[in-house]
């Protein structure tokens, strides 16, 4: 966990390996060991609502072909689940304890608009080829962190995807700076591969 301050606001940041069930233990430990006046996660507002009310929503969690391949490769590090166990655990605990959960990411509408503006038709079609390459690629499996770093680099080989990742990092950094204006003690949950970019944009 990384701790830092912006003004009078103290932040604790947990980088998580998205999908890995064991990552939820980090969230439980953090929320049990310290009192936060809010939490913030690398999700959009609609995603937080959907997870919070998932027992009321019929149907299974939808995932892209890339997400399916990622999940399959990640199983070598332990059990996996979707929606992400770390995010769902945090949202469930915060709901029980009446702790606000603030979205760090874009809304669905903003994300869709950015995708259409950033990812070309050619790159969208190349995604299938990227999946085949991922299945043949020899990733560094010495740790989950090494794996997700190499996976992210492979996906962001497509220029549009790299631009989207950078924009997300800058957007989340802006949200963190904004949170610092009205909160005092916040737990942040961001996927491991985006943390460096987010923190760079925050200025830490």
Residue 68: its pLDDT value, please? 86
Residue 58 has pLDDT above 70, yes or no: no
Residue 145: its pLDDT value, please? 96
Residue 132: its pLDDT value, please? 80
- Return the percentage of the chain with pLDDT > 90, whole number: 68
Residue 132: CB atoms within 10 A of its CB come to 10
Q: What's the DSSP call for residue 8?
A: T
Distances (CA, A) of 175 to 49, 119, 172, 194: 18, 24, 5, 14
Residue 60 has pLDDT above 80, yes or no: no
Residue 61 has pLDDT above 70, yes or no: no
Residue 113: its pLDDT value, please? 92
Residue 9: its pLDDT value, please? 96
Model-level pTM? 0.90
167 in Cβ contact with 18 (< 8 Å): no
Question: Which among 203, 194, 143, 197 has a CA at the least distance from the CA of 16?
Answer: 194
Residue 83: its pLDDT value, please? 87
Residue 57: its pLDDT value, please? 64
Residue 37 has pLDDT above 90, yes or no: yes
Task: Find the helix packing angle between 108-118 and 159-179, rounded to 10°.
Answer: 150
User: What is the rounded distance in angstroms from the CA atom of residue 6 to the CA atom of residue 34?
Assistant: 19
Structure tokens at 22: 């064991």
Q: What is the pLDDT of residues 129-161, one digit of tens each?
A: 778 888 888 899 999 999 999 999 988 888 888
Question: Which among 168, 32, 16, 19 has a CA at the least distance from the CA of 99?
Answer: 32
- Give buried/exposed letters for 26-61 (b at 16+ CB in 10 A, else e): bbeebbeeeebebbbbbbbeebbebbeeeeeeeeee
Q: Any bridge partners for residue 4, and if so which?
A: 11
Mean local confidence (pLDDT), 149-176: 92
Structure tokens at 202: 């925050």
């Amino acid at each position: 966990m990384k701790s830092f301050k912006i003004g009078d606001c103290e932040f604790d940041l947990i980088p998580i390996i998205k999908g890995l069930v064991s990552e939820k233990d980090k969230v439980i430990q953090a929320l049990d060991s310290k009192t936060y006046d809010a939490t913030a996660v690398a999700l959009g507002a609609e995603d937080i609502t959907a997870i919070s009310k998932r027992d009321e929503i019929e149907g299974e969690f939808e995932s892209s072909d890339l997400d399916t391949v990622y999940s399959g490769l990640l199983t070598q590090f332990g059990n996996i689940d979707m929606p992400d166990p770390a995010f769902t655990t945090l949202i469930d605990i915060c709901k029980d304890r009446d702790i606000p959960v603030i979205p760090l990411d874009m809304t669905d509408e903003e994300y869709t608009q950015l995708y259409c503006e950033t990812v070309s038709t050619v790159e969208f079609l190349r995604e299938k080829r990227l999946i085949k390459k991922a299945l043949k690629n020899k990733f560094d499996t010495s740790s989950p962190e090494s794996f997700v770093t190499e996976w992210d680099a492979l996906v962001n080989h497509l220029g549009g995807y790299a631009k989207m990742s950078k924009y997300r990092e800058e957007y989340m950094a802006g949200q963190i700076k904004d949170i610092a204006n009205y909160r005092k003690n916040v737990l942040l949950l961001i996927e491991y591969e985006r943390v460096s970019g987010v923190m760079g944009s925050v200025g830490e």
